[in-house]
Amino acid sequence: IQTLRHDEPRTYAGGKTILNLDQKVSILSVEDKDRDFAKVKRILQDHRQLKLTRTKSIEDAFERLEKDRFDLIFLDYMLPDGTGLDFLEAINSKGVETPVVVITGQGDELIASRIIQAGAYDYLPKANVSGKALLRIISNALEKAGLKREMRMAQEKLAEMSVRDELTGMFNRRYFQEALEREISGAERYGHGLALCMIDLDHFKQVNDTHGHLCGDRVLREFGRLLDSSIRKYDVGCRFGGEEFTVILPDTTLEKAVLLCERFRERVKAHEFTYEGLVLRITTSVGVAARPNGGETTGKQLVELADKALYRAKSQGRDQVVA
Ligand code: GH3
Ligand code: MG
Ligand code: MG
Ligand code: MG
């Protein structure tokens, strides 16, 4: 078992191992035997940056974990109200991410491998408890926890990126499709209607042709900000593609949606878009469709309806909302 081997501690000073840590480290020791706890405490007491707290049972440990934040848990295996495995199971199901190192008298390989499988970061037989071993294990566990945290953050960022449009930071078309299906199901379940708006910038090609693509990008970004700040918390604003945007308005009637879009159209018209000293004015055309409570319109049909309304808004002269 690879995790049972440890790298050598990184820092030595006059033969004595010192922990290479800047910040304070708060450790919770879950240990019912006074003698075993006293040994760990004695070993670690010289290290000012380590703060050791003790509980004697699983139940007390969880009580402490709810109150205080710990960087690391030292876990004994045999406890009055369960085993180390029970503790690991409970901590996993509660989603607590504090790293756990098992320090136990039950020094057998089978238990060790089970413990690691259950999510413990490391395992140390009580017979091997020494200053060097403890410091090594603390620094390894904290490093591993840090890497895990970084990995989770990177994953979260990736997930976020996959639903966002790069230019405007608004939700992308993929997200829009999912959100529309979700909102329709929600509307059915809770018995309300919903509306959909298709918003397209008027004569946007001219902006690119006259002032360049970078200026066009800038206008789109600014437009996205304007749209995002014009909709309500539960509305879903997306960049559908190019210079076309959609907004899903949950629990909204067609009349109400038209009103909201009118207000937005006016706001855009009054807005001064700026780019390198230039001031630009833009207008928008909006197509609105709604699915009334109890209606049977599908997401695809709703998009088609809003798109048709948008086409009419364009052909009737642009700068208008059509339902
Ligand atoms: P209409 O009023 O009929 O909508 O006219 P329009 O010029 O806005 O429409 P058209 O579909 O002819 O042109 C859309 C333009 O939007 C063309 C395309 O280059 C531009 N566009 C699409 N995506 C982007 C982008 O990400 N950045 C920039 N700068 N331009 C974009
Ligand atoms: Mg015990
Ligand atoms: Mg356009
Ligand atoms: Mg377009």
Tens-binned pLDDT, residue by residue, of the chain (323 aa): 334 444 444 443 333 444 555 678 999 999 999 999 999 999 999 888 999 999 999 999 999 999 999 999 999 999 999 999 999 999 999 988 899 999 988 767 888 889 999 999 999 999 999 999 999 999 999 988 989 889 999 999 999 999 999 999 999 999 999 999 999 999 999 999 999 999 999 999 999 999 999 999 999 999 999 999 999 999 999 999 999 999 999 999 999 999 999 999 999 999 999 999 999 999 999 999 999 999 999 999 999 999 999 999 999 999 999 99
C-alpha 220/C-alpha 239 separation (Å) is: 10
User: 203 CA to middle of ligand 4, Å?
Assistant: 9
The single residue of 243, 255, 272, 296 carrying the catalytic annotation is 243
211 lines ligand 1 (CB under 6 A): no
ipTM of the complex: 0.96
Instruction: Copy the structure tokens of residue 119.
Output: 């999510």
Phi first, then psi, for residue 307 (nearest 5°) are -65, -40
User: 291 CA to middle of ligand 4, Å?
Assistant: 24
C-alpha 27/C-alpha 99 separation (Å) is: 10
Q: Whose CA is nearest to atom 5 of ligand 1?
A: 203
C-alpha 126/C-alpha 84 separation (Å) is: 14
pLDDT digits (tens, 9 = 90+) for 182-206: 999 999 999 999 999 999 999 999 9
Asked whether 231 and 237 are in contact (CB, 8 A), the reply is yes
Mutation test residue for ligand 1: of 170, 205, 213, 319, the one with most atoms within 8 Å of CB: 205
Distance of CA 60 to the CA centre of its chain: 30
- Percent of the chain whose predicted confidence (pLDDT) is above 90: 83
pLDDT digits (tens, 9 = 90+) for 303-314: 999 999 999 999
222 lines ligand 1 (CB under 6 A): no
Cβ contacts of residue 23 below 8 Å, gap of 6+?
49
Dihedral-angle region of residue 95 (phi above 0 means left; psi in -120 to 50 means alpha; beta otherwise): left
Active site residue 109: no
Q: Strand pairing partners for 103?
A: 124
Asked whether 29 and 43 are in contact (CB, 8 A), the reply is no
Closest ligand 1 atom to residue 206 Cα is 7
Residue 249, classed as helix, strand or coil, is strand
Q: Pairing mode, if any, of strands 284-291 and 194-201?
A: antiparallel
249 lines ligand 1 (CB under 6 A): no
Measured distance between the N- and C-terminal CA atoms of the chain, rounded to whole angstroms: 67
Q: List CB-based neighbours of ion ligand 2 within 5 Å.
A: 32, 76, 78
Instruction: Copy the structure tokens of residue 243.
Output: 């210079």
User: 243 CA to middle of ligand 3, Å?
Assistant: 6
Instruction: Copy the structure tokens of residue 214.
Output: 């970078």
Closest ligand 1 atom to residue 200 Cα is 4
- ∠ CA(132), CA(2), CA(20), 5° rounding? 35
C-alpha 175/C-alpha 156 separation (Å) is: 16
Q: Whose CA is nearest to atom 18 of ligand 1?
A: 205
C-alpha 75/C-alpha 27 separation (Å) is: 10
C-alpha 314/C-alpha 308 separation (Å) is: 10
Please spell the DSSP secondary structure of 14-72, one letter per residue: TTEE----SS-EEEEEE---HHHHHHHHHHHTT-TTEEEEEESSHHHHHHHHHHS--SE
pLDDT digits (tens, 9 = 90+) for 14-65: 334 445 556 789 999 999 999 999 999 999 998 889 999 999 999 999 999 9
- ∠ CA(246), CA(250), CA(256), 5° rounding? 85
C-alpha 91/C-alpha 97 separation (Å) is: 8
Task: Specify the length of the chain in residues.
Answer: 323
318 lines ligand 1 (CB under 6 A): yes
Exposed, middle or buried: residue 114 (CB in 10 Å: 0-12, 13-18, 19+)?
middle
